[in-house]
Amino acid sequence: MGINYVAVLVAALSGFAIGAIWYGPLFGRQWMLVAGPRSEEQPRFNVPGIYALTFVLSLLAALVMALVMEQVHATDAMAGARIGFLLWLGFILTVRVTEALFNGTNMRLVMIDTGYRLIWAVVMGVIIGVWH
């Protein structure tokens, strides 16, 4: 069967569309409030560089998800959604909350961010599962 690299590409790109909605009209204002203003001491963002690296990392995540789905023979939308949810639950949520506990990060911020990652992982799984 193999990996469908077009599905991997579309799954990776889906995170940008979901992020635009999640951090825009849905939770943008709340995220800005809990993230707080940036201090003068923090360096300026290299926005094109951040988006480029984010895309590479999203591609890597989508490829790993496709490899996991291939191993467990998850070849439809429901199986993809389930794998996306389980990977989020076992690795994204647990790691992010643990980091937040030790770093003293505002839990509202963590919930907004991990909520985005939940939708992102499930949608990626569905895309890869449907196009398998």
For 97-129, write each residue's pLDDT tens digit: 999 999 999 999 999 999 999 999 999 999 999
> What is the band of 132 on the pLDDT scale with cuts at 50, 70, 90?
confident
Mean pLDDT of the chain: 93
DSSP the chain: ----HHHHHHHHHHHHHHHHHIIIIITHHHHHHHH-PPPTTSPPP-HHHHHHHHHHHHHHHHHHHHHHHHHTT--SHHHHHHHHHHHIIIIIIHHHHHHHHHHT--HHHHHHHHHHHHHHHHHHHHHHHHT-
Is residue 1 pLDDT above 70, yes or no? no
For 36-57, write each residue's pLDDT tens digit: 876 665 667 788 899 999 999 9
pLDDT at residue 41, as a whole number: 59
**pTM score over 0.95:** no
